[in-house]
Structure formats: structure tokens, C-alpha cells
A and B are shown apart, each in its own frame.
Chain A
Amino acid sequence: MTTTVPRPPAKVSFRDRLLRLAETVTTPLLPDDYLDLVAPLRAGADLRGRIVAVEPETADAATVVIRPGRGWRGHTPGQYVRLGVDVDGVRQWRAYSVTSPPGRPDRCITITVKAIADGKVSNHLVRRVRTGTIVQLDQAQGDFVLPAATPRRLLFVTAGSGLTPVMGMLRAGAHGDADVVLVHSAPRPQDVIFGPEVRELAARGVIRLVERHTEVDGLLGPDELAGLVPDHLERQTWACGPVGLLDALQERWASHGAADRLHIERFRRSVAAVGEGGTVSFARSAVTVAADGATPILEAGEQAGVLMPSGCRMGICFGCVVPLREGAVRDLRNGELTTAEPGDGVLIQTCVSAAAGPCDIEL
């Protein structure tokens, strides 16, 4: 989550005074509004990036090279970045793992996107976006990273585009000289994103690579994994892939008392429940919408044009939290009911909460 650290109440600096003076010149706009016209990536601007290249990886995946603005504070391998892209004129925010190592000489970062069926943003990025486009960015975040003291034995279990955060770690050499096993599952050999690169690493003996192809081997599951990597439960494991695979791994590690050795990154939330639905009113925006019990309040609000804060869109970053002034919502992940009486202002995560009756949101 992005937190704004309150600045110490230092005396008003010369720069602040100058800024205030500049505001009297530009009101009702801010000096930034004019500077954005000419230098959108300057220091002090809202964090943005410029797409400098889109490089195809497989038939339906591409790497997007982005030059972040001056305010970019760097990332730790394995972390993701939130990207705000205008698709058909509408700003859409999505999270993507950073696949480049920190400190590239050209100051750029890369993300690697797999186009999914009917996916708004992924298809736009893979197939349509033009170089030169400015995108909105957020600082890198996420705790799917290797610890400072790298474990001696590592296991990565990935499937499909789930290889992306792991590729970020491998490229950065974050694993040091640990004994690394990478088990990766993809439909066919040619669908493996970064295929040549990981095969090369394996050939050089940097990692042991186990490639599974679902077209011949079927879906990768924990039992098969146990056969492929017998010491898997002793290894510190980082896993990223579809919901089903991650749920199964979690169950296995937990049932063997090894839950603390498994670290997972989810690209999607698992849905366990639906709410009852209801009318959701956003009082300050003067908008009221009817939302069904399967639609997160975040999406219901966005569709009605409300400016909804958001982050990972799957319940992990708390970037979407707003007060529920009154009403009831159900957590889509576990069915838990949260209610608020007038004046309570209960904080809810709109990306995983659906209406369970009329709701009044403070936005």
C-alpha cells in the first residue's frame, strides 16, 4: 500500500513559499497542471511512465518497457507495480510484476503481460498500445520477495504468466548461489514466457528447470510436484500461478506443517461467496447504483464514473479502503458480513466487498 508519511512540521521552506506564490498566479489550476503539459515525467509530478517499447514474447504475451518518471523509487525483485492505462478512453488500473532487474542503465523497468481472453488491459498492452504513451504508475510494492539472507535451497513453482515475478528475481540474481529449482507449467513449449532465457539458465547450471506442458502432462498439481521435487517441503518456496494451483499448494504445505515456508503471489482473488446485492450510494459523488452480490463495490462505483481509489484489486494492498457510512457488505473471499450503523464509518476493502443490502459509501 502506498502510505503518505506525514512530513515533520518543519518551518515553511523557501520552496513551499514559492509554490504558494505560484499558485496565486495559476489558480484555480496548480502550477503542476501547466508543467504536466510539457514535462509529465519530471520530479515532483504524480508518478507516471512513458512506454518506450513493446517487445513480443510469445503469441499472446509481450514485455512492455517503461521509463518511469523522476519520482520512481526503485523496486525489490519480485515486487509489482500498479499501472493506470487508458483503454477506450477509460482509466483502468492493474498490477503487473516487474520483470527487469533493479538499476537498469537506461532507468527503464519492464513488465510482461499475458493477454487473457476478453481481458481489457492485458489485450490493450499486448496488442494495441503505442510507444510514447504515458501511463500512470505507483511505487513498486508487494512482499513476494526473497529475504535478505537468501535461503540455501529454493523452490519456485509457477504457471503461465506467474513466471513474471520469479523472472524478476532470477534476472536480478536475488537467489545468489542458492540451490534453485524452478517448476514451471505452460500449455506448450512455445507458450513458455521467457522460455529460451530460463532454458539457458538451466543449461548454465544456475537453476534446475522442470518444464511441464499441460497439453501432454495435464495440470500441475501438488502430488505431481512431490514426485518432481521430493524435498519440496524443506525448501523455501515461492509460488505464483492460477488460483487452483495456489490453493492446492497452500493446502499441502499447511497440512504438512510447512505453511511458513510457502510464499505465494496471487494475480486474482479466489471467490468463495457472493453478497445479497443492494443499492450502493456514493453520497459525495451524488451517485447511486444497483449492484449485484457478485460485483465488488469497487467495480460498481467505477462503472458509474465514481473516482474509486484502488490498488491490487484483489484484497491484499488496502489501496481501495473507504469508510462504509451505513449498510452491510459481504467479503467475496470468505462470505464474512460487515455492517455499519450511521456514524460508524467502518473501513472496507471495496475490491473484495459486495453489497449485502443498501450501502452508503463515503466517496
Chain B
Amino acid sequence: MTVIQKKARNPIAHLSAEDIEMLGKELDAIRDEVIASRGERDAAYIRRVIKTQRTLEISSRAVLLFSLFPPAWLIGTAALSVAKILENMEIGHNVLHGQWDWMRDPKIHSTTWDWDHVSPPEQWKHSHNELHHTYTNVLGKDNDLGYGIMRVDEDQPWHPAHLGQPFYNLVNAAFFEYGIAAYDLELGRNLKEGRHKSPEFRARVRAVGRKIRKQVLKDYVVHPLLSGPSFLSTLAATFTANLVRNVWSHSVIMCGHFPKGVETFEKTSIEGETKGEWYLRQMLGSGNISGSKLMHIMTGNLSFQIEHHIFPDLPSNRYQEIAPKVRDLFDRYGLKYTTGSLPRQVASAWWKVIRLSLPNRREAGPVQDRPIDGGSAGAPLPALAGSAA
């Protein structure tokens, strides 16, 4: 991909400023409709998911007490993996987004929730909700574009270190929760800029340390010890469950913004951005995953990444319901709704990571991804240009 402003065929050139404002209004109407109808059914949904997750987790842990017995290991590990995925994706991510704050239940609220993850909720909420969701896919602003270690856009400058990025991505997938914690700490930048001695940064590092200690103690010491003779096999089971959860969430999240068809934006394009333009950026900067109902729940409904990015704080069970309406908007406004099956989107994202580990080749890449020669760097969104005229 190439920033939208430099594309040969700019996918939003046909929209006038008025079109974009209309689009914004139509999306606002969809949002209002959901908010007006939020109620008992939604509350029952999240409580049911939480109850299922907790029941599954405690049962899987109980089964793993006998993990020396291979069927117990297999069933326990599979169930614990599913429980951990549900906990992070459909519950943790969405509760921390404030999707359920409207229920005013102090036990299911973004300000009180803690999750089965090594990144403390406060830090994650800042880097994810405030930075990534605001600056989605803006080069140089949205660190989720390659997490600061990879090059995932032609317009990100190439460096020899990028040669290793397929490997970094693999390691990141396996230990994704640690990757996220380091990312939320902005570890690289803080170390490079010598801010690692600031009391604020140190307090945050300590918070991560405490969280890691608790997580490691639980998964790799306490539960194995409780399993007595099954110590080692339970240790292997919890390690496997964490690995499965990490690889799964990494894959799902890669599908959100990296696959082919997802657009990126220049830094200057968000100066003075209107609400309608913000919506448009979210629509084009995200990609969905198609699949079954169960798959959507297991992705925390991030398979509806487009709907989630347009409305980050609507209850996750509603994304699927509004998807047809959102898709209809894409069609009517002549925009491309990026979606595909999980294997296809994962492959597309991986291919990009591999391809961009090498410097740009002029003629390489799919036609629609080729930058214009001598592209009009710094040009505002055409829509903006239209409105200024």
C-alpha cells in the first residue's frame, strides 16, 4: 500500500466535501440507533460471555491438575486456550474500550477491569484507545503500523534492519502480549531518547513488572505446583495456551490494518480533519475477516474491524448487526469494503511483511499499489482540496 494521497487512482477522489459530510451524518445515524436500543439483551450477552469464559477457564484449570494423563492435557490445554482467547478478545479488549461502561456495573467497566495480559490496562488504554484509534493508519503517527519495528508500507523508509522483519514478526506473534507491553511502554523510543530514567517512565515499567510477575507466577508456578506430579505437563499446557492465544490474537490483529486493500494516510492529511473525514479514514484504514459466528466471537468481533474502528465504543455484539448497513454505505459512496477469509487476510498481511523487508522496487507490487511518479507529496485529501476551492 501507499499513502492514499500518492495513489495513481485515488479511491476517494470522486467524493466531494459535501459527500463526506453526508457520509458522516449517515454513520452518526447508525450510531444513534444502536445507542438508543442498547439494553437488557446486550447486557445479558456480555454477562453470558463472561460467565462462559470463567466457567471454561476454571474447568480447564481443574482438568489440567491431571495433565500427566495425555487426554487431560489435550482437553485442558485446548479449553484453556479458548478461555484465554475469549478473555483477551471478546471480553478484555472490548471492556477496556468502554463498550460496556453504559451498564454502570462496576464489575464490567473500563476503569476497573484488569485482564489476563502483561500490559497493565491503563497503559494499553492509552496507546490503543487514545493513540491508535485516533491516528489510525496515519504514517508517523499510528505506531500500530508495524509496531515501530517493522515496515508495512511502501512509504515507510527502508532500513537494512527491516531484512529481519519476517523473523521479528514471528517472534512477536509467539510472545505477542510481551510485545504489546513493550509497545505500550514505547520502550524503544523511551530508551533511544534517554527518557528511561524519568520517574514517570520508571513507574510504568514497575507497573508492567508487577503485572508480569503475577501472570508468570500464576501460569508457570502456582498452577503447575497445584498439579503436583503433573507439574511439568501443566507448565507445558499453560505455556502452550499462552502461545496459542498470542499467535491467534496476533493473526487477527494483523488482519485489521495490514492486508492488501487497506489504505494509509499522510501526516498532513489529518490536519483540520472533519468528523466525516475521520470516519472515512477509519473506513478505508481497516479490513474485516469473514467467517462464522463462532469465529467472530473468538476474534472479539475484531473481524468487524471496519465497524469497530468507525464506532470503537459500541458493544461488540452489535458490529455484526450493523455490518450490512455499513457495507451498503461503502457501496453507495463507491468505496472498497476490504474483507476476506482469515487464511487469506493472514497470508496477505504476512506477504506484505515479507515483501517490504526489502527496499521498494519501482515496478514491483500490485498495480493499484504503485505510487505515482513524483507524487504530490503533502497534497491534502482531494476532498479537502475541493472544499477549499
Report A100-115 residues with CB < 8 Å from chain B CB.
none
- Which residues on A sit within 8 Å (CB–CB) of B186? none
Instruction: Say whether A305 contacts B101, CB under 8 Å.
Output: yes
Report A76-124 residues with CB < 8 Å from chain B CB.
86, 88-92
Minimal beta-carbon separation of A91 from chain B (angstroms): 4
Residue in A28, A33, A91 whose Cβ sees the most chain B Cβ within 10 Å: A28
Nearest B residue to A22 by beta-carbon distance?
B222
- Which residues on B sit within 8 Å (CB–CB) of A37? 51, 54-55
Report B273-301 residues with CB < 8 Å from chain A CB.
none
**Secondary structure call for the B interface:** helix
Interface-lining segment among B158-166, B212-220, B322-330? B212-220
Instruction: Say whether B104 contacts A307, CB under 8 Å.
Output: yes
Instruction: Say whether A34 contacts B54, CB under 8 Å.
Output: yes
Q: A28-B114, A89-B38, A307-B111 are in contact. Are A34 and B58 (CB under 8 A)?
A: yes
Minimal beta-carbon separation of A210 from chain B (angstroms): 43
- Which residues on B sit within 8 Å (CB–CB) of A26? 218
Nearest B residue to A282 by beta-carbon distance?
B111
- Which residues on A sit within 8 Å (CB–CB) of B21? none
Report B90-123 residues with CB < 8 Å from chain A CB.
98, 101-107, 109, 111-112, 114-116
In this assembly, does B257 line the interface, its C-beta being within 8 Å of a C-beta of chain A? no
**Count of chain B residues with a beta carbon within 8 Å of a chain A beta carbon:** 33
User: What is the bound-complex CA distance between A299 and B45, given in angstroms?
Assistant: 26
**Count of chain A residues with a beta carbon within 8 Å of a chain B beta carbon:** 22
- Which residues on A sit within 8 Å (CB–CB) of B106? 307
Instruction: Say whether B218 contacts A25, CB under 8 Å.
Output: yes
Minimal beta-carbon separation of B153 from chain A (angstroms): 30
Q: A25-B223, A28-B214, A307-B106 are in contact. Are A284 and B54 (CB under 8 A)?
A: no
- Which residues on B sit within 8 Å (CB–CB) of A24? 214, 217-218, 222
Q: Contact partner of B105 among A25, A91, A284, CB < 8 A?
A: A91
In this assembly, does A302 line the interface, its C-beta being within 8 Å of a C-beta of chain B? yes
The 8 closest A-B pairs by CB, nearest first: A89-B43, A305-B101, A28-B114, A88-B39, A91-B104, A89-B39, A89-B40, A27-B214
Chain B residues with a Cβ under 8 A of chain A: 38-44, 51, 54-55, 58, 98, 101-107, 109, 111-112, 114-116, 130, 214-215, 217-218, 222-223, 226
Chain A residues with a Cβ under 8 A of chain B: 24-29, 33-34, 37, 86, 88-92, 284-286, 302, 305-307
